[in-house]
Chain A
């Protein structure tokens, strides 16, 4: 009913408009201008992406010229001697993102399955909205919470015991080594995980919602349990979409700046211990950009930005290709 009513209403409205059209709006000149304006705006979107790449490359050029491709695997980062290498930042980015993804993915999947399959009907919608709203909270809030609340607790109740527990175990004692100060790569990874969780969960929920009801019902009809339907029907059907949402979350984690900058500890060295302070590409740029007085220093930061651009472009492009395959 509403559908018909609204359409007639809209028709009536537009019909009313046509009685006195401002003449220039129907003119050929305006018609052409409007078309080219919208094409221009669409091309502008492409130009933004191109602009990112070109401007970052130009900014990074002095560093790229001086350090060459070796910039990527050099571990020195020393503004005083003007030696710069991206390895500590790349390592920190990969380690924190890996921790975040390992923690976030199973939990996000559980939440998505709970919302779409298990939760009581009345709870599904509000819970979904709550998750989406949480995904909108700015990352700086997660950073402040991480610094003032999570890090001290993590140091006392998790880091300390783990360090003591593995003190005499050969490899683990190196991975979980160091004073329990709370800030460091593990903390950053965990806070990142909590930050990207609502985001991944809400994409996964949308993906799981695309499973045709008929498929699930045929599963239930032959007596499959909820878990068996999830395992044998939902996961295989959504495999690509689920992977896409993981990549989307990864793209988010790789470039996240504020949440990480608060708690990573800002140390430009590579250590085997995940409890040690470190740095990511984004946190290095955020921390040092205003203090970069030499050209080579700020150019090296731009080179880090260029690396981040390339890495996240690849990850996000993969994510999009996977998600586009299921959506339309």
Chain B
């Protein structure tokens, strides 16, 4: 081998080693984070998490009110954002396909998809919390909905795009109206993908903390009243983790583990769904 070839192979070897080292280095960090989360979370994990309220300082307790509050906030947010996201996605892929307006909406939607979530909180604070004179569960759900809508729009459009046009044409040939084709053919054929989008949106908003700080805030007590501040896991984790009481910190870790596991399970489910949706076409 001459010197040039040797040098090239040496450079290749060095780059390979550096790339491998970098990958391992990052994976080590991520394993560290996940390990900490699992260790701390499971040492604080107990069945009473699901039955007892969040405690005052120095006492033990559970997360029942925060879990229920989070479920309500996310549930209402999805009830609002699913139809809006679905319809907007429908516009992008059916009515508006190829138009100037659709490309603007698509672009704005992509920007919203990555916008800092704290801004959604400030926005909802200005339009709901301040005029209504107080923090409320409705406001929290509104902020979460604003974050969820772009996710639903994006997946709906992508998934409806996979539906072959020949199927739509077949329905038109039978004399179906446009809305009928969308409802009975496009939605039906893309339903797995659309469901995936909804699941992804749930995963996306379940761990959001910043927007809830300015909207639903938190509540130490049992509360299912959406017109007042309502307990929820993310803000509870934030407040308890920032406090020096060991009991509270343990609860924060347990809550963190709960949220992360939920999100991971949802992400994995959506992945399985997506795979079956893609194999259909």
Contact = CB atoms under 8 A, between A and B. Distances in A.
Q: Do A and B come from one complex?
A: yes
A147 B241 contact: yes
A251 B153 CA distance: 20
A175 to B, nearest CB: 24
A134 B31 CA distance: 10
A205 to B, nearest CB: 12
A47 to B, nearest CB: 10
Contacts of B132: none
A258 B115 contact: no
Contact of B210 (A41, A106, A257): A257
Given A31-B177, A55-B123, A45 B149 contact: yes
Interface stretch (B45-53, B61-69, B92-100, B220-228): B92-100
B118 A305 contact: yes
Interface in A20-77: 21, 25-28, 30-31, 34-35, 37-46, 48-49, 51-52, 55-56, 58-59
Contacts of B84: 41, 44
Contact of A42 (B25, B88, B164): B88
A21 B111 contact: no
Interface string B185-208: 100110000000000000110111
Given A11-B167, A48-B112, 18 more contacts: A14-B188, A31-B178, A38-B90, A45-B109, A45-B112, A48-B146, A51-B123, A107-B22, A136-B263, A138-B206, A138-B208, A140-B256, A141-B33, A257-B117, A258-B209, A302-B122, A313-B115, A317-B111
B119 A309 contact: yes
A235 interface: no
B76 interface: no
Contacts of A44: 84, 88, 149
Contacts of B92: 42
Nearest to B120: A52
**Looking at chain B's contact residues, is the secondary structure mostly helix, strand, loop, or mixed?**
helix
Interface string A243-259: 00000100110111110
Contact of B122 (A15, A56, A261): A56
**Looking at chain A's contact residues, is the secondary structure mostly helix, strand, loop, or mixed?**
helix
B271 to A, nearest CB: 7
16 contacts: A2-B279, A11-B170, A14-B184, A14-B188, A31-B178, A41-B85, A42-B102, A49-B112, A139-B207, A141-B259, A225-B11, A227-B11, A227-B15, A251-B115, A282-B118, A319-B114
Contact of B19 (A113, A305, A320): A113
B252 A52 contact: no
Contact of B188 (A13, A25, A39, A55): A13
Interface in A219-246: 225-228, 230
A285 B122 contact: yes
Nearest to B189: A10
A325 interface: no
Nearest to B205: A138
Interface in B1-52: 8-9, 11-12, 15-16, 18-20, 22-23, 25-26, 29-30, 32-33, 36-37, 40
Contacts of A137: 33, 207, 260, 263-264
Contact size range, A: 35 or more
Nearest to A43: B105
Contacts of A251: 114-116
A251 B171 CA distance: 43
Nearest to B145: A48
A46 B116 contact: no
A26 B182 CA distance: 11
Given A25-B179, A140-B209, A6 B237 contact: no
Given A11-B167, A56-B126, A257-B117, A42 B111 contact: no
Interface of B: 8-9, 11-12, 15-16, 18-20, 22-23, 25-26, 29-30, 32-33, 36-37, 40, 83-88, 90-92, 94-96, 101-102, 104-105, 107-112, 114-120, 122-123, 125-127, 130, 146, 149-150, 153, 164, 166-167, 170-171, 174, 176-180, 182-185, 188-189, 203-204, 206-210, 213-214, 217, 234, 237-238, 241-242, 249, 252-253, 256, 259-260, 263-264, 267-268, 271, 279-281
Given A18-B174, A18-B176, A45-B108, A286 B213 contact: yes
Interface of A: 2-3, 6-7, 10-11, 13-15, 17-18, 21, 25-28, 30-31, 34-35, 37-46, 48-49, 51-52, 55-56, 58-59, 106-107, 110-111, 113-114, 118, 129, 132-134, 136-145, 147-149, 194, 197-198, 201, 225-228, 230, 248, 251-252, 254-258, 261-262, 282, 285-286, 289-290, 302, 305, 308-309, 312-313, 316-317, 319-320, 324
Contact of A107 (B26, B120, B166, B203): B26
Contacts of A143: 241
Contact of A138 (B110, B209, B213, B242): B209
Contacts of B178: 31, 34-35
